[in-house]
Amino acid sequence: MDRLAGKVAVVTGASRGLGEAIATGFAREGASVVLAARTVADLDRVAARCRDAGTAQVEVMTTDVTDEDQLTALVDTTIARLGHLDVFVANAGIAVPSVTDRRMTTLETYELDVVERLFAVNTVGMWLSMKAALPVMPVGGSFIAIGSELGRMAGAGAGVYAVTKAGVDLLVRIAAAESAARRVRVNCLSPGGMVDTHLFGPNKMPDYIKAHVPWSAPEVIVPAAIWLASDESESVTGKRLAGTEFNQTPLEDLRAGLEDA
């Protein structure tokens, strides 16, 4: 407990799923948390969970990660209210069912507006989050980009979603190199397949993804997220960490085997 005491953490996409699990985990470890998403009612529900978990302070801000002004306001308001920004978890993301009820499984079945929306949230939204947060994070700051195993699965059916997540891997490597001199670390945290994040819509995760990606409940990612947010990972940057592997691998072996993002 209290591994994150004194730290201020922003979590985007905090209204459900992975974001809710990470924010609640941070709260249990004593961090002050700023919850960002587009739906106020869900954010208020998560804020209540964070208070019950023991957070030092919780703030709620409606934020669309495709809007640069809103992300700038999120960061500026966090610093104005809480004094600093130590951890930024860029978790907001969408898949095809978040945009349309249609299932698009091969590249030629995608529609342009769906592709544009996927890139706007998953890739451009990640870049905008980095642009807003990284310049103001202090020495020891930790930016955690939520990636996906699909970003490394260049096979049939991986789709445009996989391409957007591959872009996240590259953004992490570049941002880590650019932030190293200021001792702000940037890492990619890949949860594996999540069965209940609302990412895949009412039908949940497609069978072709389940066949290739380990899948579990959102809470599996929390220990790895806490470690990356804490000072325990101060020497780790530009890496990709899988949440499920973190839970199964001794820490000393994990440090030695971390992949570049």
pLDDT digits (tens, 9 = 90+) for 212-229: 555 557 788 899 999 999
Whether the Cβ atoms of residue 21 and residue 218 lie closer than 8 Å to each other: yes
Q: Is the pLDDT of residue 114 over 80?
A: yes
> Measuring CA to CA, which residue among 7, 73, 6, 63 is closest to residue 36?
63
Average pLDDT over residues 38-67: 95
- Tell which wins on pLDDT, 99 or 109: 109
Q: Give residue 239's pLDDT.
A: 93
Count the neighbouring beta carbons within 10 Å of the beta carbon of residue 244.
Answer: 19
Res. 153 pLDDT band, cuts 50 70 90: confident
DSSP 32: E
Q: Give residue 198's pLDDT.
A: 52
> Measuring CA to CA, which residue among 119, 117, 80 is closest to residue 98?
117
Res. 196 pLDDT band, cuts 50 70 90: very low
Strand partners, 215: 193
Q: What is the CA radius of gyration of the chain?
A: 17
Count the neighbouring beta carbons within 10 Å of the beta carbon of residue 169.
Answer: 20
The DSSP string of 99-125 is H-SS---SGGG--HHHHHHHHIIIIIH
Q: 226-260, pLDDT tens digit by residue? A: 999 999 999 999 999 887 777 766 666 666 667 77
Share of the chain above pLDDT 90, in %: 67
Q: Is the pLDDT of residue 135 over 80?
A: yes
Residues catalogued as catalytic: 161
| Angstrom distance (rounded) from CA 51 to CA 53 | 5
| Angstrom distance (rounded) from CA 44 to CA 27 | 14
> Measuring CA to CA, which residue among 94, 250, 221 is closest to residue 160?
94
Q: 183-194, pLDDT tens digit by residue? A: 999 999 998 755
Q: Is the pLDDT of residue 202 over 50?
A: no
Exposure class string for 121-155: b at 16+ Cβ within 10 A, else e:
bbbbbbbbbbebbbeebeeebbbbbbbbbbbebee
Exposure class string for 176-188: b at 16+ Cβ within 10 A, else e:
beebeeeebbbbb
Q: Give residue 8's pLDDT.
A: 98
| Beta pairing class for 239-242 and 8-12 | unpaired
Whether the Cβ atoms of residue 78 and residue 33 lie closer than 8 Å to each other: no
Architecture of domain 8-260: 3-Layer(aba) Sandwich (3.40)
Taking each helix axis from N to C terminus, what angle separates 125-133 and 68-82, rounded to the nearest 10 degrees? Answer: 30
Q: Which of 1-10, 89-98, 203-212 has the highest mean pLDDT?
A: 1-10
Structural tokens at position 92 = 């907001």
Exposure class string for 11-20: b at 16+ Cβ within 10 A, else e:
bbbbbbbbbb
Q: Is the pLDDT of residue 101 over 70?
A: no
Res. 11 pLDDT band, cuts 50 70 90: very high
